[in-house]
A and B are shown apart, each in its own frame.
Chain A
Amino acid sequence: MPDDTTYLRERLGRLGLATRREEEIFRELGDHLVDHAAALEARGLTSDMAAREALDSVSNWPELRNEIVSVETEEAIMNYRTKVLWLPALCAFALSMVLLALLQIAGFRPRFYWLENGLFIPFYVPWLLALPIIGAVAAFWSKRAGGGVSHRLLVSQAPAIIWLAVLLTFMLISLVIDRHVPLIFKLHGMLIYIVAWVLLPAVGLLLGAAPFLRKPQAQP
């Protein structure tokens, strides 16, 4: 059996892994087949027959390829998503909440914007002003970890997205519990909270993330 990996590459094809890892796998599997063929030769088989039998020991090459690729990429995908999406998104949300709590502890009170019908929008101005920094940190983090533009956008918007989910949940609960309150009031209140706690923060977060949302320029 030739001491190279051409015959392996013909059967397995490209694995689509990092070049170094792919070389390593081909080399290792090649070594195994060479040893196997040598053992068969030692038992009296001709060189050609031993090589053929060693190769025939694998009955399904595409299945072997799929198994190797699956093992090699399964964890990589999980790690990749964790690094570029979940971790920066959760940290951005946690950071925004910690900041809000600190501002409240420090005595900052919300500013109220009164509407004509007696409803009001509460604004934490220092918090809103700090959100671009959190958006920038989250998008930069995801970019550094290798995240694409969509990942960077999502992580930078994580605090606003989570707030939206929380508000919608409360809205659904209140639809069931507070049946005596007219629906129009609930929808009005919901809209106001979405503006104050989702849309405005989303704009602030987006402003901070904007410099990190550009696609890299193609090299000429």
Chain B
Amino acid sequence: MTGIDSKIKRGSGELAILALLEREPLHGYEISKRIAQVTGGVLQFNLASLYPLLYRMEKRGWVKGKWEEAQSGRQRRYYHLTPKGKKQVAPLRAEWGMFFQALHRIAGVSHAG
């Protein structure tokens, strides 16, 4: 994803994170691992790109981080989707859908969703 503009990456990352947390609370490393797995490595977030995004989403009240015990027994900061964050998922999905449709019309770019 090095060639993709950071704003597009940030926007897509927000939707990716919200969609993942809709299923279950996850800690930061698990979020980056899942995004890479699910997208086949097309979307990759490392420490530098993930945490500023998570902190921004937390400031907006979309997610809430809580220290909880992981399966390993270590305390990890798990991110939970808040009701405010839940409300963002549908509009963001629609926005990205429109974005890809527009790109498809112009450049013949299609998307799976």
| B contact set with A: CB distance below 8 Å | 27-29, 32-33, 46-48, 50-52, 55-56, 59, 65, 74, 76-77
Contact = CB atoms under 8 A, between A and B. Distances in A.
Interface residues of B: mostly helix, strand, loop or mixed? helix
A29 B51 contact: yes
A143 interface: no
Nearest to A59: B48
A172 interface: no
A36 interface: yes
B55 A31 contact: no
Interface string A37-76: 0010000000000000000011110011001100110110
A24 interface: yes
> Which of A29, A32, A63, A68 neighbours the largest number of chain B CB atoms within 10 Å of its CB?
A32
B59 A71 contact: yes
A31 B27 contact: yes
A121 to B, nearest CB: 51
Contact of A36 (B47, B51, B52, B59): B47
Chain A interface residue bracket vs B: 20 to 34
A58 B46 contact: yes
A22 interface: no
Contact of A35 (B29, B51, B52, B56): B29
Contacts, number: 53
A67 B28 CA distance: 17
Nearest to B32: A32
A28 interface: yes
A160 interface: no
A24 B77 contact: yes
Contact of A75 (B28, B29, B32, B59): B59
Contact of A71 (B27, B29, B55, B74): B55
Contacts of A27: 77
Given A28-B77, A29-B47, A68 B29 contact: no
A36 B74 CA distance: 15
Nearest to B29: A35
B48 A71 contact: no
A32 B50 CA distance: 10
A131 interface: no
B47 A71 contact: no
A136 interface: no
Contact of A72 (B55, B65, B77): B55
A160 B52 CA distance: 42
A24 B77 CA distance: 9
Contact of A57 (B46, B65, B77): B46
- Nearest first, the 9 A-B pairs at minimum CB distance are A35-B29, A67-B52, A64-B48, A58-B48, A71-B55, A57-B46, A32-B29, A28-B77, A71-B56
